[in-house]
Amino acid sequence: MAGLGEALEMQVTEWAGRFSSASDADPVIAASGQGFSCSYLLDMGSSRALIKMVEGRVHRITPDPGPMDGYDFALRACAATWREMARPAPEPGCQGLFAASATRDMRIEGDIAVLMRNLGCVTRQVELLRQVGVPQ
């Protein structure tokens, strides 16, 4: 059970459902994400999820993807960094991908141009972790 102000944690399959619902219901992604089509890996240390977006909607989330599951880019950090980013009020340095890249162990890998042209929506999805929580 997460304490007040702590990130929620759950099994990756439960997390995938919650993340998908939150993203598809998000008004910012609905307003600006019509062209948001890409796939990316969230590597959270002990758990991983491959997210495929098509025109602003979650097409599929693959928990613990295999080596043949391709993606455009990956966002990798240890579980502790993601947990801090998912707190309702993250501490300085954990408020987003670039902040965590500069101050923590966040690594952005793959096709950076795909990330950058979808950066607003990806940033929004990372912020949704503050509502959704992170996989254990």
Partner 1 sequence: MAKHSQAIGRYVTIQVDELEYEVFYLRNGQGEPLVCQHGAGSHNHQWRGLLEDSEITRRYDVIAYDLAYHGKSDPPANHKWWENEYRLTADHFSKFVLRFCDALNIERPIFMGASFGGNLALQLARYHGERFRAVLPIGAMDYSPGFHQEIWRDPRANPAHAFPAALWDSMAPQSPERDRWLALHHASQGAAAFHGDLYFYSVDHDLRDELHNIDSRTCPIVLMSGTYDYLAPPEAVENFARKIPGSVFIEMDGLGHLPMAENYPAFRRYLLEALKVVEHKSRVGAV
Q: Which residues bind partner 1 (CB under 8 A)?
A: 89-90, 92-93, 95-99, 102-103, 112-114, 116-117, 119-120, 123
Measured CA angle at 23 (ends 127, 17), to 5 deg: 105
Instruction: For residue 102, give the nearest of 77, 122, 119 by alpha carbon.
Output: 77
Give me 7's structure tokens.
């990130």
16 class by beta-carbon count within 10 Å (0-12 exposed, 13-18 middle, 19+ buried): buried
Cβ proximity to partner 1, 90 vs 133, nearer residue: 90
CB 107 → partner 1: shortest distance, Å? Answer: 15
From residue 70, how far is each of 40, 74, 83 by CA, in Å? 8, 10, 25
Cβ proximity to partner 1, 74 vs 136, nearer residue: 74
CB 81 → partner 1: shortest distance, Å? Answer: 13
CB 2 → partner 1: shortest distance, Å? Answer: 18
CB 23 → partner 1: shortest distance, Å? Answer: 16
Cβ proximity to partner 1, 2 vs 116, nearer residue: 116
